[in-house]
Structure 1
Amino acid sequence: MQRRAEILKMIRENGFKRVSELKDIFQVSEVTIRSDLRTLREEGKIERNYGGAMVKEEQESPSFSETSWLLSETKSAIAKAAVELIEPGDSLFLDGSSTTLLLAKLARHIENVTIISNSIPIFEQLKEMTTATLIGIPGTLNPRTQTFVGPYAEKMINDLRATKTFISPKGVLLEGLRDITMVEADIRKRMMDSGNEVIVLADHSKFNNNRTLIRIDSFDAVNTIITDQRPEDEYMNVFAEKNIRVIIAETHEE
């Protein structure tokens, strides 16, 4: 049915759509929209939420345990380049990614550093450290990514301020940073907004990753991008226009 196909497209593009919005767009009753959403949910294409529907996230989002074994030389090199940007006394937002986990292991030895994260693996790695301060962001557990997300997590991030934010989005496209799930995108966006300096950690596979449906933010707030290969010229032109520093991490493979 054409209307359901258009509804699905809108949900994928926006991450979430309310029943009331869809009713007005298609000029049909709420009963009709709810019936369409029910069908899409039964087909496994969306998830229903109070008052609307969202992208079926769990189909696309790999669990932390599924991706942690991919901690390659590339990610290690990016983390090593990133830690060079951290100074004693810095406060850091670290998102829940395998690259920031590696960064946390390196940053724990920096004098008087404060690490703020929603990531359980980072908590586990740093729980016994005595040389730095660890602040945990509470919220609703996303069991696949082992991170805390949702409104409580977002509110706490809004109330904090850090000197540097390190995030590792799932996609870097010409229009900006993107993610697979709406809840993780929201957390990364809040961290960007609450950090004085934003550093993006993205290996070459993140560029042109068109499977990332959810928008995090444009490049306007980004100060530095650390990657393992020089991005294509079209990206470099955008970064130069936005005055974004690009650091190419050295790997043994080079």
Structure 2
Amino acid sequence: MPPTASQARREEILRLATTTGLASVDELSQRFGVTASTIRRDLARLTADGRLARTYGGAMALTAHPEASLRQRTGEAYAQKRAIARWAAAEVQPGETVLLDAGSTVGALAHELRTARDLTVATTGLTALHELADVESVHVECLGGTLRPLSQAFVGPLTEAALERMTFDRVFLSADGVTADGGINEADLRQTRLKELMARRAARVYVLAHAEKLGRAPFHAWAALPPGWTLVTHRAASEAQVSAFTGRGVRVVRVEPLEELGDPEEPDPLPHPPGD
């Protein structure tokens, strides 16, 4: 017997909650073209069946969304990340002081900056340190602190204290997910607090995120961003994804694939940082 409309809707609600981490009553109501009361009944049924956990204004998946290690993420959307990194590197001007977050896309940016001259780079990520440690024309500042193994990033009060002593021309941030209204979504509250502080210390704020991360909220820690920030993504991002950001005053750059930027050959793999 085929599922009823309500059963099919509940299965789709469950899929959405598992994929994005959260399901909002208002968003689900608009998506399915039913009343908020109908959605609340669906959520109540899924909660009673032990398949969802209710939250204020919606529900969340019971199964925690697993956080991938930096090494696992390095191979994801590889061509998109390299194209984004190349565009971001072209923004950096000689004589500037820039701040690099941890993350695989920002790590790819650090690789592109190996040819830079007269540049100061501060970073919280081991990948950027690995890429730039032997580049004599780039002065590197390590914002040390407590190492978080999964993200290969320094976090905590020591990192935050080091940030307070510097200002930057540009900051390039990574994200597990990014939304137009919420900002950057991450698995760890220490990371989101740090990203907020990083954004406050820079004149220009960039978030580097490939298309699959746009509109996603797999975790429950958020970093709000100041007005006027720039989202750098890939041409694969849909018009609907992009309009959600431009409608809130975010500058969105969609870069071209690498082969259309004059680099038809497969680039060298990103280096693996030690450990996960």
TM-score, normalised relative to structure 2? 0.65
CA contact (8 A) 2:106 2:172 kept: yes
Q: Gaps (5+ residues) in structure 1?
A: 1-11, 14-57
Q: State yes or no: 1:101 paired with 2:97.
A: no
How far the C-alpha of 1:189 sits from its partner, in A, is 1.2
User: How far does the alpha carbon of each residue in 1:193-231 deviate from its partner, in whole angstroms, 9 at most, with x for none?
Assistant: 11110011111111121213111014x334321101344
How far the C-alpha of 1:76 sits from its partner, in A, is 0.3
Q: State yes or no: 1:149 paired with 2:151.
A: no
CA contact (8 A) 1:182 1:214 kept: yes
Q: State yes or no: 1:203 paired with 2:210.
A: yes
Identical columns (%): 23
Q: Which residues of 2 match residues 203-242 of structure 1 at below 5 A?
A: 203-218=210-225, 220-228=226-234, 229-233=236-240, 235-236=242-243, 238-242=245-249
User: How far does the alpha carbon of each residue in 1:167-197 deviate from its partner, in whole angstroms, 9 at most, with x for none?
Assistant: 0111111312221211111221111011110
Structure 1 residues 139 and 70: CA distance shift in structure 2, 3 A: same
Instruction: Report the secondary structure of 2:74's partner residue.
Output: helix
Distance 1:75 1:121 in 2: 14
Distance 1:112 1:102 in 2: 19
Bigger radius of gyration among the two: 2
How far the C-alpha of 1:72 sits from its partner, in A, is 0.6
Structure 1 residues 234 and 148: CA distance shift in structure 2, 3 A: closer
Count how many residue pairs are aligned between Structure 1 and Structure 2. Answer: 197
Amino acid at match of 2:167: R
Instruction: Report the secondary structure of 2:75's partner residue.
Output: helix
Distance 2:259 2:117 in 1: 31
CA contact (8 A) 2:65 2:219 kept: no
Q: Which residue of 1 aligns with 2:144?
A: 138
CA contact (8 A) 1:165 1:191 kept: yes
Q: Gaps (5+ residues) in structure 2?
A: 1-20, 23-63, 261-276
CA contact (8 A) 1:180 1:212 kept: yes
Amino acid at match of 1:83: A
TM-score, normalised relative to structure 1? 0.71
Instruction: Report the secondary structure of 1:78's partner residue.
Output: helix
CA contact (8 A) 2:122 2:141 kept: yes
Q: Which residue of 2 aligns with 1:111?
A: 117
Q: Which residue of 2 aligns with 1:90?
A: 96
Distance 2:198 2:161 in 1: 11
Most deviating of 220-229 and 94-103? 220-229
Instruction: Report the secondary structure of 1:155's partner residue.
Output: helix
Structure 1 residues 233 and 71: CA distance shift in structure 2, 3 A: closer
Cα root mean square deviation, aligned: 2.3
Q: Which residue of 2 aligns with 1:173?
A: 179
How far the C-alpha of 1:234 sits from its partner, in A, is 6.6
Distance 1:227 1:139 in 2: 29
Distance 2:108 2:77 in 1: 8
Amino acid at match of 2:173: I
Q: Which residue of 2 aligns with 1:182?
A: 189
Most deviating of 229-238 and 109-118? 229-238
Amino acid at match of 1:187: L
How far the C-alpha of 1:95 sits from its partner, in A, is 0.5
Distance 1:151 1:134 in 2: 20
Instruction: Report the secondary structure of 2:193's partner residue.
Output: helix
Amino acid at match of 2:120: T
CA contact (8 A) 1:199 1:222 kept: no
Structure 1 residues 128 and 162: CA distance shift in structure 2, 3 A: same
Most deviating of 166-175 and 132-141? 166-175
